[in-house]
């Protein structure tokens, strides 16, 4: 045992010491505490289905997915590994109700479900602790990603109705686990990933290390990543464990295509014709000196304690610092034939954020009242978000020149651009919640879940001198009730009503003053069904969600003046179709409309950037042969056209992509097992607009300042090859 432990430490040290260019490009491989010993030749993460998996449901604790009155999907580590994903932007497509609203790029965009824009903190978690959403997330660090669709305010505190994204960190393994993966991608991008785990006495460890660097798929571009992630578990007793996590992640990307901006006129009409998308690997669509440099440091600790067979406690704390230097290129259209003006700008939002988040809950199933079984949950969570903005805003924009999307130009680096950083504390948000839940079991067929939370919302802003300029002090409640009916063991129906609070938005009036609104409310009605037919898990839902929209109208006042109402249907399926052939896929129809707009001609219009239809299906086939196992995968993705403007006068066209993959697993090459992987994403080299973002108000007003919709080009055909050795 000590030999394996020493070997893990030596390998980890070697990876840290090596230069990035000496080792090939990273694609991930990780295993969890229980899954490290699984036979990777017989599982692909999707042949087991998804309804039998344990998922987090806020302070209510862990549920089997089939028993939760919500649509919760999990992207397992096997899919992350075999599809060679490095970020959330690579795997979010597997859940068709989910998207990333791109703001400066997919890596720093806002993840969302069911067509609602998310918040920068309240919807995103590491193991149930809130983190900064809009920075890069290394998939090598995580066992899986859980996505809950829709409203979850009573479970996690005040938030937008855009769902929950919970990143589950890899835990120490019960037996020694050592893995090194090298890979090659793009034109000349190399990297290495090491994953080491084990346990010595009461201490378990898991170490993930990544180095990656080189040229990307655009000539003279650069993509660099570095990760150190360490997880330690102290088994204090048979009933108590202390989990700790530390990670430091650097992500640098330069030279890739920038955003394109379409000016929007009064009345919500796009000023020019949106050109057809082009190959995003063309040089000149971005500039080699423009991009992003992201650095995130995270530390957390958590206590899990089984007080006795009927009582359980879990509590934790997380600190995260995120530094974002975003100095990208935006290309603003200037005519109807694809002409644009290229401008380099720095990020206007705070470049540094500090987050302190906490959670705690107690759960028991030992309460019997009025002859009924009660599962009681009591807890809370919260976070404090501090933003630091750049004190010096001079020179943060540089005009590069004019070009055309069909004939882009490479411009020289501007000399007037000021990238100096002099930060000051500009904002503070302090959000805290108390949550109570009761799961009432009437009999084997009927159950209801009642949840309620009270939230305290405090927000402050500061001037460059440190003076407090705005304060916000509110509180409110969120409610949810669910009814679950199980006529037979493998079939359940549920209905859920949720009424959730979120912090009020702020905006500028025509006279230059700022208005901070009262907390807003979102409401959701949902009915769903879950079942298993043969070896295929099926989950479906019908839902309606509404929330108010605020903007500055022609009266010059920023206020709530409309409502976004989304109605939709979701269907997910996954499991084993026949022996050795598995699938994970789904389809979502979404009718996202603007209601009660100030400009009546916009009533009933489709929300900018939200497609009506989206589907994704991943197939995976395993073929045993004499020397090991061959694996083949095919992923089919479709996104419908999306409105470019509030008046729906133009749309970004729909697109269809196909990803193919192959792997060979053998015990007759290196170490205990070697896995070769080859992935080709977008094999047809489809040219498409991957994201549409409404940079102004959502219904044609806000004319006090120029507005526009941002669109982003999708990735071209890409090849990724890797070799993983387990020893």
Q: What is the pLDDT of residue 103?
A: 84
Assign 422 to helix, strand or coil: coil
Q: Which of 377, 384, 232, 376 is nearest to 317 (CA)?
A: 384
Task: Provide the token pair at 212.
Answer: 């990656």
User: Which pLDDT band, with edges at 50, 70 and 90, does 296 fall under?
Assistant: very high
Q: Which of 164, 288, 312 is nearest to 222 (CA)?
A: 288
Given a cut of 90, whether residue 80 has pLDDT beyond it is yes
With contact defined as beta carbons under 8 Å apart, do 484 and 492 qualify? yes
Q: What is the pLDDT of residue 553?
A: 63
Q: What is the mean pLDDT of residues 311-318?
A: 98
Q: What is the pLDDT of residue 43?
A: 67
Q: Which residues pair with 203 in a beta bridge?
A: 200, 234
Cα→Cα distances 291→288, 708, 725, Å: 8, 21, 34
Task: Provide the token pair at 665.
Answer: 């697993």
Q: What is the mean pLDDT of residues 160-171?
A: 97
User: Which pLDDT band, with edges at 50, 70 and 90, does 560 fall under?
Assistant: confident
Strand ranges, E, within 216-265: 222-237, 240-254, 259-265
Q: What is the mean pLDDT of residues 674-698?
A: 90
Range of the domain at 190: 2-726
Q: What is the number of helices (H) and of strands (E) in the chain?
A: 4, 42
If one counts every other C-beta atom within 10 angstroms of the C-beta of residue 615, the result is 17
Q: What is the pLDDT of residue 504?
A: 79
Given a cut of 60, whether residue 14 has pLDDT beyond it is no
Spatial separation of the C-alpha atoms in residues 621 and 582, rounded to whole Å: 6
Cα three-residue angle 639-126-109, rounded to 5 degrees? 35
Q: Which of 259, 250, 243 is nearest to 101 (CA)?
A: 259
- pLDDT over 70 percentage in the chain: 90
Q: What is the pLDDT of residue 703?
A: 37
Q: What is the mean pLDDT of residues 311-326?
A: 97
Q: What is the pLDDT of residue 23?
A: 27
* pLDDT tens-place string over residues 386-417: 999 887 765 578 999 999 999 999 999 998 77
β 164-169/124-126 pair status = parallel
Q: Which residues lie below 8 Å from residue 602, measured CB to CB, with a gap of 6+?
A: 268, 594, 646, 647, 699, 700
Of the two residues 437 and 516, the one the predictor is more confident about is: 437
β 491-502/468-488 pair status = antiparallel
* pLDDT tens-place string over residues 268-291: 899 999 999 999 999 999 999 999
Q: pLDDT averaged over the chain? A: 89
CATH code, domain with 619: 2.40.170.20
* pLDDT tens-place string over residues 465-487: 888 887 788 999 999 999 999 99
Q: What is the pLDDT of residue 429?
A: 93
Residue with token string 């079991």: 441
Burial class (CB in 10 A: 0-12, 13-18, 19+), 368: exposed
Spatial separation of the C-alpha atoms in residues 293 and 229, rounded to whole Å: 19
Assign 108 to helix, strand or coil: helix
| Total structural domains within the chain | 1
DSSP string for residues in 352-390 = EEEEEEEEEEEEEEEEEETTEEEEEEEEEEEEEEEEEEE
Q: What is the pLDDT of residue 5?
A: 42
């Amino acid at each position: 045992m000590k030999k394996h432990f020493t070997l893990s430490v030596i390998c980890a040290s070697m990876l840290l010491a090596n230069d990035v260019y000496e080792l090939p490009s990273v694609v991930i491989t990780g295993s969890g505490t229980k899954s490290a010993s699984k036979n990777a030749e017989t599982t692909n993460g999707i042949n087991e289905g998804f309804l039998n998996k344990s998922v987090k449901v806020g302070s209510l604790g862990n549920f089997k997915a089939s028993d939760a009155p919500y649509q919760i999907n999990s992207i397992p580590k096997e899919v992350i590994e075999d599809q060679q994903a490095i970020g959330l932007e690579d795997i979010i497509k597997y859940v068709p109700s989910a998207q990333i609203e791109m703001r400066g790029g997919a890596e720093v965009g806002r993840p969302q479900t069911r067509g609602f824009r998310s918040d920068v903190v309240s919807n995103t978690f590491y193991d149930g602790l809130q983190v900064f959403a809009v920075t890069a997330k290394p998939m090598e660090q995580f066992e899986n990603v859980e996505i809950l669709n829709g409203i979850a305010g009573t479970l996690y505190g005040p938030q937008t109705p855009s769902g929950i994204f919970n990143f589950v960190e890899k835990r120490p393994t019960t037996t020694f686990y050592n893995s090194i993966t090298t890979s090659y991608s793009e034109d000349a991008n190399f990297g290495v990933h090491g994953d080491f785990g084990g346990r010595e006495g009461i201490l378990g460890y898991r170490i993930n290390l990544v180095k990656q660097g080189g040229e990307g798929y655009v000539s003279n571009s650069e993509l660099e990543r570095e990760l150190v992630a360490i997880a330690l578990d102290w088994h204090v007793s048979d009933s108590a464990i202390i989990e700790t996590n530390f990670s430091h992640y650097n992500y640098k990307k330069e030279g890739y295509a920038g955003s394109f901006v379409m000016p929007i006129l009064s009345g919500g009409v796009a000023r020019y014709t949106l050109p057809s998308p082009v190959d995003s690997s063309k040089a000149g669509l971005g500039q080699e000196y423009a991009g992003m440099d992201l650095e995130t440091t995270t530390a957390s600790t958590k206590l899990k304690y089984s007080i006795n067979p009927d009582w359980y406690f879990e509590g934790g704390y997380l600190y995260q610092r995120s530094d974002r230097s975003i100095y990208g290129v935006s290309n603003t259209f200037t005519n109807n034939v694809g002409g644009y003006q290229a401008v380099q700008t720095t990020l206007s939002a705070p470049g540094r954020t500090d987050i302190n988040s906490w959670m705690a809950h107690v759960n028991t199933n030992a309460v019997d009242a009025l002859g009924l079984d009660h599962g009681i949950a009591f807890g809370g969570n919260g976070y404090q978000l501090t933003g630091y903005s750049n004190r010096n805003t001079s020179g943060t924009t540089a005009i590069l020149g004019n070009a055309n999307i069909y004939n882009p130009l490479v411009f020289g680096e501007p000399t007037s651009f000021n990238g100096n950083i002099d930060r000051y504390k500009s904002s503070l948000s302090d959000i805290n919640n108390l949550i109570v839940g009761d799961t009432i079991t009437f009999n084997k067929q009927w159950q209801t879940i009642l949840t309620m939370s009270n939230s305290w919302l405090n927000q402050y802003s500061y001037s460059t001198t440190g003076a407090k300029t705005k304060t916000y002090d509110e509180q409110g409640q969120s409610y949810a009730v669910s009814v679950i009916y199980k006529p037979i063991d493998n079939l359940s129906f549920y209905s859920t009503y949720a009424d959730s609070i979120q912090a009020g938005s702020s905006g500028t009036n025509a006279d230059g003053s700022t208005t901070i609104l009262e907390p807003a409310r979102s409401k959701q009605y949902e009915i769903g069904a879950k079942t298993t037919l043969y070896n295929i898990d099926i989950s479906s839902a019908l839902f309606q969600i509404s929330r108010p929209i605020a903007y500055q109208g022609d009266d010059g006042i920023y206020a709530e003046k409309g409502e976004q109402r989304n109605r939709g249907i979701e269907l997910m399926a996954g499991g084993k179709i026949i022996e050795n052939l598995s699938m994970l896929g789904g389809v979502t129809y979404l009718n996202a409309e603007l209601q009660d707009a100030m400009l009546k001609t916009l009533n009933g219009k489709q929300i900018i950037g939200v497609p009506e239809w989206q589907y994704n299906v991943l197939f995976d086939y395993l073929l045993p042969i004499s020397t090991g196992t061959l694996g083949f995968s095919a992923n089919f993705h479709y996104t419908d056209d999306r409105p470019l403007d509030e008046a729906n006068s133009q749309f970004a066209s729909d697109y269809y992509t196909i990803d193919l993959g192959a792997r060979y697993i053998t015990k007759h090459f290196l170490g205990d097992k070697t896995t070769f992987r080859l992935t080709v994403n977008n094999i047809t080299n489809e040219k498409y607009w991957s994201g549409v973002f409404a940079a102004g108000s959502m219904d044609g007003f806000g004319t006090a300042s120029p507005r526009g919709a941002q669109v982003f080009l999708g990735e071209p055909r890409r090849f990724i090859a890797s070799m993983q050795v387990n020893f």
